[in-house]
Structure formats: C-alpha cells, structure tokens
Amino acid sequence: MSLLDSLFRSPAMDEAFSDAARLQGMLDFEAALARAEAACGIIPLKAATAITAKCRAEFFDVATLQTNAANAGNLAIPMVQQLTALVAEEDAWAAGFVHWGATSQDAIDTGFVLQLRPALAAMQHKLRQLCELLATLADKHRTTLIVGRTWLQHAAPTTFGAKVAGWLDALLRHRRRLEEIRERALVLQFGGAVGTLSALGERGGKVAAALAKELSLRLPDIPWHTHRDRFGEVAMCMGLLSGTLGKIARDISLHMQTEIGELCEPGGSGRGGSSSMPHKRNPVGCATVLAAATRVPGLVSTVLGAMVQEDERGLGGWLAEWETLPEVVGLAGGALYHLHGAISGLEVNAARMGENLEATRGLIYAEGVTVRLAARVGKQEARRAVEAACQQAIENREHLRDVLLATPAILQHLPEQTLRQLFNANNYLGSSSSMINKVLETARAHDDKPSRKGE
C-alpha cells in the first residue's frame, strides 16, 4: 500500500521508514558490531573488514528475505543468513564471525533506533520551521480582531494573533518533548541471548561501549529487550503532537467554512479542488492532518499494549511494534509536514473577521456590559438585566447596543457614552498582547539554544 504515502506522510518519513532503510539499519548494526569486536580483540580485523564490505542493502535479495521472515519469525534471521552467505562468497573463514555474540533483537531494535534518529531530526527541523511561521503570524496579527468562539458559538472578541500564539505555545512544548525523547530513545540495544552478553565473556561490556561509539548511540546501563518504555514514550509523544496538529487543523478548517471565510489554505494548480464542483477550495492539508490525528491514538494504544512482555524476550508484543511504531512516527511526521505547508501560505481575511464580529448584532459584548453594570447594581441584578436585553435583541433582530440605550433602568447606571464604549472590540483584548509577547520570548529563547548533533 504505497499509493497514498505522499498524502499521509512526507519525503523524510518515507526515506526513514522505507524497506531499504529498515534493512540498512540492521546491516549498519552488523557492520558496527564486527568493527567493535575487532577493536576489542574478539574477532580478527580482516573478518570485520570483510563483513562490513557486504553490509549494504542493495546486495540483498529482498523477496527472499520477505518469504523467509515469515518462517523465521523475524527479519534478522534470514538477513544474517544472507549476510553470512555474501561474506562467504569472498571469504568463508570471515563468514564465521558474522553476528558474533548478538541476537536477532539486538539487530532489529538497534536498526530501528537508527531509522528513528533521522526521522526525529527531520521532525525537529520541520517543527522549528512551523514555529517560526507561527511566531511571525502571531506578531503580525496581534491586534487583528476576531470573534472568540466557545462551544462553536460566538463568545467575546479576541485577536487572531492570540489564537495563533496559543497554537505556538503548544508546539513549543512539543519541541521540548522531542528533544527529551531523543535522549532516552536513541540508545543501543545489545544484550545477546538473554541480555547478559555471555557469549562475549568478560569483554561484553567493552564491546557494547565500542559498538555504541561506532553507531553514535547512547549506551544504556542494561539491555532493554522486554522493557519497551522508550518506544512507548516515542509513541505517546507522537500521539500528543498529532493531537495538537489536529487541533490547529480543526481551527483552520472551521474558519475556512463558506459562512465564516476568515482563513484559507494556500491554493494552486490541482490543490483543494473538487471533482464535480469547480467553485470549491477544500482544506486538503487540514484533512490530512485530521486523518493522522484520528489514526494515531489507536496505534499508540497498540504500542502501549505491546509493553507487557514476558521475562527476557517477549512473544508477540515485540512483533506488534514492527509496523505500528513506524506508522505512528510516519503519520505524525506527515501531519507536521502537511500542516507546515498549509500555514506557510495561509490566507488571512482580516476584513471578514471584522465583519463576523458584528454577526450577532452586539451580543458578543454582553459580558463586558454585565461586568460594568455589576459594579453598580450587583452581579445577579446585572445579569438579569442584560439577559433580558439580549433576549429582546434576538427576538426583534435589533442591535444589543440600541436595546440597552433604550432601557432607562440601564442608562441610569451606565451613561450613553459609557455604553457605546463597551461596544468597541478593542476594549476586550485584556492581557492578550502581553501573553503573545511571553510566547514569542519563549520561542526566541528556544531558537537561541544550540542545536544537538543530527537536528
């Protein structure tokens, strides 16, 4: 199933989680293992050189690997068999040192970690770009008035900049999460049969350290064959990120509705059109993001369910990760990629935002009137009076301001000039500008931090 890959994923995710990358990740482990063992005096250097020379995915018969993996129970066993045969073609003696002291899970887990590293780096890069776009957008529209909506109803005025700053604030937390999971997830898996490296004797720890250095991975204190919290955390991080991306996509798509018309995804040839209705401009980027936000949580639960594994090597749970976890990361990375595309050319219709502020004929200012009136007559009496005025305005299709100006009991406490001022949306922005400043300061501070290698 590859026809829809470009719709739901991104070029970087496709590359990181391709079949070739999966195979090459395991082969990189085997090559590094041979070199580390040679450096520690476990196997001859000549054998390590011969093994490394054959650890290239293009040398392998993938169709045979697929067939044999079903019988072997995993991909590493037939991969090691083919690697051994390839080495033997050049040096039968060296072939005897392939996969020395390791187990299949060492190759598979470490191979996936090697795939995960560039995938996370690509996501960090794209997330940084998206945050930069949102920071610019928030600053530009810090005073652009828009209706604040609660429960999908008009509530009170706010600014588009404040809305965007909320998006940005959430994504900045995800940037920190991605940094943190790199520290915990990008670690070596190397334990041999039951995690003791017994086949390497007393030199097991030395080989493990050399292997971690070869692969530029952290060395854990102990192998983690059946302790899957690292991968579980990656999945949960992807689930949280997908949820936030979905929230942003939901907001944009809601504001693209014909009746609202405040935002619009970038257009272009072949983008967002309908097969039957020429006038349509669909939120295709948002649709992709929302699809990921719908799919990822169920996949995350599969990864978490797979954590309950038996003793030193799991049965079934480990296998459940093999396709699920790449899909979780791939979908989240794809959602990030497509939302970045939508935001990069987002069209903001500030005039329509202003028009929509008046769609309820002043009802969105009812809270402000109630608060000001409550200072004179008390909260309960003020609420009753303003609710009655709102009901009259709705029934008679009048502007709330005009109803209030025609109500002597309210004019007695709120003079005409004061009432008219209460219907100015700019008076309802509160601390929004200072809040935007704080988010932008946090974003700048994050960008000023030195990047880690591989980001």
Among 1, 69, 59, smallest CA distance to 30 is for 59
Identify the band that residue 270 occupies on the pLDDT scale cut at 50, 70 and 90: low
Q: What is the pLDDT of residue 363?
A: 94
Q: Is 313 a catalytic residue?
A: yes
**Domain residue limits, the chain:** 10-102+198-215, 108-187+224-358+431-455, 363-422
What is 108-187+224-358+431-455's CATH number, 3.40.50.970, 1.10.3720.10, 1.20.200.10, 3.90.120.10?
1.20.200.10
Question: Is the pLDDT higher at 59 or at 266?
Answer: 59
Q: Give the integer Cα–Cα distance in Å for 245 and 338.
A: 10
Categorize the per-residue pLDDT at 302 as very low, low, confident or very high, splitting at 50, 70 and 90: very high
Residue 4 scores a pLDDT above 80: no
Q: What is the pLDDT of residue 455?
A: 44
Residue 271 pLDDT greater than 70, yes or no: no
Average pLDDT for the chain: 94
* Whole-number Å distance between alpha carbons of 310 and 313: 6
Contacts of residue 248, Cβ cutoff 8 Å, sequence gap at least 6: 167, 289, 339
Lookup: tokens for 172: 């900045």
Q: Exposure pattern of 282-297 as b/e (b: 16+ CB <10 Å)?
A: ebbbbbbbbbbbebbb
Domain 363-422 fold = Ribonucleotide Reductase Protein R1; domain 1 (1.10.40)
CATH number given to 10-102+198-215 = 1.10.275.10
Q: Is the pLDDT of residue 31 over 90?
A: yes
pLDDT the model gives residue 273: 54
Half-sphere exposure in the Cβ direction for 418 (13 Å, CA): 12
pTM given for the model: 0.92
Give pLDDT tens digits for 76-123: 999 999 999 999 999 999 999 999 999 999 999 999 999 999 999 999
Higher pLDDT, 405 or 274: 405
Q: CB within 8 A of 227, min separation 6: which ones? A: none
**What's the angle, vertex CA 335, arms to CA 128 and CA 269, rounded to 5?**
100
The pLDDT tens digits of the residues spanning 176-198 come to: 999 999 999 999 999 999 999 99
Tally the C-alpha atoms within 13 A of residue 402's C-alpha that lie toward its C-beta.
8
- Confidence tier at 450 by pLDDT (50, 70, 90): low
274 is catalytic: yes
Given pLDDT bands bounded at 50, 70 and 90, which one contains residue 281? confident
- pLDDT of residue 71 exceeding 80, the answer is yes
Quick one: angle between helices 19-39 and 76-90, nearest 10?
60
Q: Which of 218, 313, 352, 361 does the annotation list as catalytic?
A: 313
The one catalytic residue in 6, 198, 216, 274 is 274
Query: What's the confidence (pLDDT) of residue 446?
Result: 85
At 9 the pLDDT is 82
What band does 2 get if pLDDT is binned at 50, 70 and 90? confident
pLDDT of residue 454: 44
